[in-house]
């Protein structure tokens, strides 16, 4: 698996495990990758359009679009491993995934449901 460096300090606290926001983001990204497998060209095109918007509007650090472009160039299985990794980088990527607009209303409602943990 590729190692992706990041410019920010650690944000995960291994002693406490993932937070609720990250658990929801993990579910969202897992579903996004399932959709990516089913329609790779469409999902990739939408993600790249969102990344372009981030760059045009300067809504995030350059690291995010650069890293997401690299991830979207990887095979889907490898990309999913990087983004779902239980690491600071994985958590950062899940918090800023470029998959807006690919979920149905029903999927979004289901994704917002609290965890049973």
pLDDT tens digits for the chain (117 residues)?
456 665 544 455 555 566 788 888 999 999 999 999 999 999 999 999 999 999 999 999 999 999 999 999 999 999 999 999 999 999 999 999 999 889 888 888 887 776 554
The answer to whether the CB of 29 falls within 8 A of the CB of 100 is no
**What is the extent of the structural domain holding 69?**
40-112
Cα 66 from Cα 63, distance rounded (Å): 5
Domain-embedded: residue 93: yes
Domain-embedded: residue 12: no
Domain-embedded: residue 30: no
Domain-embedded: residue 72: yes
Domain-embedded: residue 61: yes
Domain-embedded: residue 45: yes
Crossing angle of helices 40-57 and 20-38, in 10° steps, is 130
Domain-embedded: residue 64: yes
Count of domains observed in the chain: 1
Domain-embedded: residue 49: yes
């Amino acid at each position: 698996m590729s190692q992706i460096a990041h410019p920010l300090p650690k944000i995960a606290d291994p002693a406490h495990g993932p937070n609720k926001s990250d658990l929801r983001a993990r579910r969202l990204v897992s579903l996004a990758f399932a959709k990516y497998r089913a329609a790779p060209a469409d999902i990739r095109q939408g993600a790249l359009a969102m990344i372009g918007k981030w760059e045009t509007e300067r809504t995030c650090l350059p690291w995010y679009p650069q890293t997401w472009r690299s991830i979207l160039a990887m095979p889907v299985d490898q990309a999913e491993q990087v983004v779902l990794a239980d690491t600071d980088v994985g958590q950062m990527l899940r918090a800023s995934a470029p998959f807006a607009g690919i979920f149905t209303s029903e999927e979004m409602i289901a994704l917002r449901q609290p965890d049973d943990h």
